[in-house]
Structure 1
Amino acid sequence: MKSNLFLALCLPAAVFAQEASNTAGSEVYPNTFSSGSAKISQFNNSAKRFNDWAVSVGGGTALMKKSDLTSFYGDEVNWGWNAYVSLDKQLTHTFGLSLMYSMGQTNQRGMLPGVWGATAGVAEAWTKYKQITVLGDINFSNLLRRVDNHSPYRWALHGYAGLGTMGYETLLLDNNLSRYAPNTFPIAVDQKLGFSSLFFQGGAGLKYKVSELIDIETRVMYVMSGDDEFDGGGDLFDTGHPSINYNMINPSRSDDMVTINLGLSFKIGKHDSHLAWHDPMQEIYYRTADLEQNSNELIVCKKGDLDNDAVCDDWDRELNSPAGARVDGAGVAIDMDLDGVIDLYDRCVTVPGTAENNGCPPGSK
């Protein structure tokens, strides 16, 4: 008794385990995890329908903004230049990462306060720099855009933020020390590219989709150097010699720069569209509409039901069941007492009999 009960409990589990092992690891669809739908495929790298790599190049101007010697002096702007190239990887439709290399030069002017300023005049300085940055990219248009029935959009607002390292050379000339102490001055700094000079930059860009392969972008970035010598004022602070205290013109210990660039992004890959311009919600609505307009009709009983027993001829094992006879799932007329007389003609449905006596035992009426 106990052994029979044990088998009764274990047998369904064994059957289920066998079925699960046959389908759980299968790569053939439909399977247990596909809800019976055959319109699915594996989500792997070969199933991608968009590109996610790009190379960007651009250039523009660089201006020293928050510093001791600035690019904005009086009514004049001392223009510099900036250029960049980056390798871009789009991780999702709203976020990506870039490895960017930048180089350029800023030109700035400044004047010491008091009598020393009158003696030295307006000092001129320049900074030549090289930067390597890991930059995060947030696509605000994909993050905030509503799904509607408008044509595919071509404008996108991006936000950028990242950390990097840089190297730079600076030079400062004035009318005092540069003339009387040529062996010591002009003031110069040579900061090698390395982790000793980390900086932060952030900004925004507006992209326009020219084609499936090219985007054009205008980008404004704010660079916080964290160095007081980035503007050309030298690497000394409060020396006790007012004639060289250019780093005390502005109390901030970080010289900051602004870059304004116009650039191009070249999207890499074999697919028609790029992930940065991909909108999952728009695709979901499109798929839903497509399914509604192109519904697949389920056709049953292709061969009909010749004997009208409600069992399709496709799987009816008895195509000529008598009208009114009860049939099983295979379309065979039911004979409950198994006496060879179907229940439609059997007057003794539960007792075996003979056909001559209408399905009743011999001698009975």
Structure 2
Amino acid sequence: MKSNLKKASLLLTGIMVGGKLLAQTPDTTASKNYVKPFSDGSAFRTWSIGVNGGVLTPYTVFGIKKQDFQSPHNQIGYGGYIKDQILPSFGLQADFLAGKVAGAVTPADQVNGTYTSFNTKINYSVDLAANFTLANINWRHEQGYIQPYLTVGGGYIAYTPTLTTASGPTNEGKQHDFFIPVGAGLKFNVANGVNIDLGYQVNFVNADNFDGSVQGATNDRFGYGHIGLEFALGSSKKPQLATHNPVASMRTEYLMDEQRLQIQVNQQQAANQQLRSDLNATNANLAKFTVDSDGDGVPDVYDKCPNTPAGTPVDGSGCPLKKPEVKVYVTQQDKEVVNQAVRNLEFDFGKATIREHSDESLNKLAQLLVAKGFNLKLAGYTDNVGSVAANLKLSKARAEAVKTYLAQQGADASKIQAEGYGKANPIATNATDAGRQINRRVEFSIY
């Protein structure tokens, strides 16, 4: 036991010393941490690797009373991972863990009166875990230095348990099972792209023979408390996404814009002073040529139709323009847009809910109605399930649903007529689900 604690102390001391050496030249310059707001992932270092070491024990935060061996013996464990930070607060990491887990029974609770202790060698364990960074935004400082995190995942563990009885140890052979690691911890930023990782993890093994003994119906579990180092991969000129504080970049961007704007304002003020004096002289001469009482864009001196109503298009003499008659023709391409909308339109059974995959073709139809000002008649139909009255009501509701959707996309609702005809005029058999789905439709006519 003392030997194991001594090894653990040496391991933790080595990692802490390494972290301190790396921390002697921390990069806190604004140029290293600044990233233009709303930049994509290429502006950051998203990949990182980590190594760690610590203590493995059958005791966890959930207690040890239901474990087969209730006297834990702490052992050394070690591991590592590679992580891809997909979002500022979410990443995926592949973990590796190895070491030993050991324990014994209390004198009053010896397993079957036979086994006295166990020692399980973790040959290896690999898992894929989701990593959630809980606090990488700091409103008080340019760079936050502590990021709490949570992890949860699933993987594969290979182990060899050894049971000890009064007659000596017995190797139980190599085993392997699925396990779920759940953990939490803190990361401390000690240098540019280097973090100290303090964490604790509970590993739930999908078996009861991790300790070599199968007792009751409770699966085995073990804990791993560790300290380690994380190194961001990539160019040191880019900040690590998981530790980046976007608030600081937004503030820097604001200050840079403010300085640029102030320079522009000073230059513009000088130019404005000169322009103002020139304009004052020019305006005095041109005042009589710029008065436009009715606001139609034609000065009064040239306006042959004064007092034109506001917003009325006028010609060069200020008189209202005659609005040309515009004829709109329905082309084959327009008909294809309508046919496509009819083919793709589907409703849920017994409802006036338009299915999502119908949206794209309805959007194109709405654009056509807006562009060419067509009138549209909607005729709603149902399948033969239900009463005549219910189907008439439902078909009307479906036609109205299409009208509402098109109007929401900008079409003129006054040019859309919606009618319901119930289960009349089926275009497919009502004997199958597919046929009934086709009959739940709204037909379109443009003119």
TM-score (norm 1): 0.59
State the number of aligned residues: 252
Output aligned runs, 1:17-56, within 5 Å. Answer: 48-56=42-50
8 Å contact from structure 2 (residues 143, 245) kept in 1: no
Q: How does 1:185-334 map to 2 (within 5 A)?
A: 186=170, 188-192=172-176, 197-233=177-213, 247-248=214-215, 251-270=216-235, 271-295=237-261, 296-297=264-265, 299=268, 304-305=274-275, 308-309=278-279, 323=285, 326=288
* Partners of 1:136 and 1:160 within 8 A in 2: yes
Q: Partners of 1:69 and 1:220 in 2: how far apart?
A: 22
Q: 1:310 to 1:268 in 2, by over 3 A?
A: farther
Return closer, same or farther for 1:304/1:124 CA change in 2, 3 Å cut-off: closer
CA drift at 1:336: 5.8
Q: CA deviation at 1:187?
A: 5.3
Counterpart residue type for residue 139 of structure 2 = V
Distance in 1, matches of 2:200 and 2:148, equals: 12
| Runs of 5+ consecutive residues of structure 1 not aligned to the other structure | 1-39, 179-184, 234-246, 312-319, 329-333, 338-349, 351-365
Q: Which residue of 1 aligns with 2:121?
A: 127
CA contact (8 A) 2:289 2:301 kept: no
CA deviations on 1:176-203 (whole Å, 9 max, x unpaired) are 5x5xxxxxx82503124xxxx2111111
Q: How does 1:159-198 map to 2 (within 5 A)?
A: 159-176=150-167, 178=168, 186=170, 188-192=172-176, 197-198=177-178
- Paired-residue identity, %: 17
1:103 and 1:115 map into 2 onto residues whose CA distance is 28
Report Cα offsets for 1:187-230 as digits up to 9, x if no partner: 503124xxxx2111111111110101211111100000021000
Which of 95, 106, 114 is 2:90 aligned to?
A: 95
Secondary structure in structure 2 of the residue aligned to 1:103? strand
Structure 1 equivalent of residue 145 of structure 2 = 154
In structure 2, distance between residues paired with 1:52 and 1:226: 32
Is the CA contact 1:69–1:125 (under 8 Å) kept in the aligned structure 2? Answer: no
1-side partners of 2:108 and 2:93: how far apart? 43
* 2:130–2:151 contact (8 Å) kept in structure 1: yes
Which deviates further from its counterpart, 215-224 or 152-161? 152-161
Counterparts of 2:122 and 2:256, CA distance in 1: 57
TM-score (norm 2): 0.49
Distance 1:124 1:305 in 2: 92
Matches within 5 A, 1:342-361: none
Larger radius of gyration: 1
1 CA distance for matches of 2:122 and 2:276? 92
Distance change >3 Å, CA 219–CA 41, structure 1 → 2: closer
Matched residues in 2 for 1:253 and 1:42: separation? 49
Deviation for aligned residue 1:290 = 4.0
Instruction: Report if aligned partners of 1:93, 1:279 keep a CA contact under 8 Å in 2.
Output: no
* Alpha-carbon separation, structure 1, partners of 2:125 and 2:117: 26
Provide the rounded CA distance (Å) in 1 between the counterparts of 2:206 and 2:220.
7
Would the aligned equivalents of 1:60 and 1:81 in 2 still touch at CA under 8 Å?
yes
Give, in angstroms, the shift of residue 152 of structure 1: 2.2
- TM-aligned CA deviation for residue 127 of structure 1: 3.3
Provide the residue aligned with 1:138 in structure 2. 132
Shift of 1:279: 2.2
Q: Structure 2: which 5+ residue stretches go unaligned? A: 1-35, 291-298, 303-316, 318-447
1:181 corresponds to which residue?
none
1:97 Cα shift?
1.0
Task: Give, as a single letter, the amino acid of the residue that structure 1 aligns with 2:101.
Answer: T
Aligned counterpart, 2:385: none
Deviation at 1:310, TM superposition (A): 5.6
Residues 43/272 of structure 1: CA separation in 2 closer, same or farther (3 Å cut): closer
RMSD between aligned alpha carbons?
A: 3.7
CA distance in 2, matches of 1:265, 1:117: 45
| Corresponding residue of 1:237 | none
Report what 2:398 is aligned to. Answer: none
Which SS does the other structure have where 1:273 is aligned? coil
